[in-house]
Amino acid sequence: MTIHKEGRTLLAVLLIILTVVNLVAYNYIGGTIIFQVSLGVSVVLFLLVLQFFRSPKIHCPVNDKHVIAPADGKVVVIEETAEGEYLKDKRIQVSIFMSPINVHVNRMPVKGIIDYFKYHPGKYLVAWHPKSSTENERTTVVAKMDNGTPILFRQIAGAMARRIKCYLSEGDKLSQGQEFGFIKFGSRVDVFLPLGTDVLVNIGDKTKAGMTVLAELN
């Protein structure tokens, strides 16, 4: 287990602030109880923020016919929908909600070349809101697989997550399970699959980024 690069500066600053607060509580405010409360709250706060930025090592079950979960979380949507930004036809949408206690690293669902990438500024509706997929801050990515199949996936910010990081550029070639981004403090990732794809998860299932098989392509 390591600490993700997105959290190292924040954690260092937080540690300095909490250290100063506790030194003040100990030296100037006085009182053992006040200091103990301050120290206890500081430890809990630091550990909560620390767990947001954990980055565990994984073993990805690489398979060209499989679509792997791009995020840790819970499956909240499996439905046929129209994708109008790039694919402009019907797809099976599988959405994963990332809570604040999940790992926030995002990983490639398939191996492929990045054919399309676009960042959209937007609102910060709660991640399960029906319009969050089209109105919230988000990034849209299309990976073209070796057989030419395009797989579109979308990072979506939520009410708490107000910073999406995506490390991709058009033309990049990435492996299945490779890290491609990070969403601070949770949110949602949508994956759009071709009609006829055999979805292997159900609503409410828990997923692990780069490990859980979402679907098998025909």
At residue 28, the pLDDT reads: 79
Same domain, 101 and 171: yes
Q: Report pLDDT for 127.
A: 56
Active site residue 55: no
Number of structural domains in the chain: 2
Amino acid type, 185: F
**Do 32 and 76 share a structural domain?**
no
Residues 40, 129 within the same domain? no
Ranges of residues in the chain whose predicted pLDDT is under 70:
1, 30, 122-135, 158-162, 185-186
Helix or strand run (H / E) with residue 36:
helix 32-52
Task: Fill in the amino acid letter for 89.
Answer: D
pLDDT of residue 43: 92
| 196 and 112 belong to one structural domain | yes
Q: Are residues 18 and 117 in the same domain?
A: no
Q: Which pLDDT tens digit goes with each residue over 137-183?
A: 889 999 999 999 999 999 988 655 557 889 999 999 999 999 999 98
Residue numbers of the domain that contains 180 = 66-216
**CA pair distance 54, 114, nearest whole angstrom:** 26
Q: Which of 38, 42, 95, 187 is catalytic?
A: 187
Asked if the structure places residue 60 within a domain, the reply is no
26 and 100 fall within a common domain: no
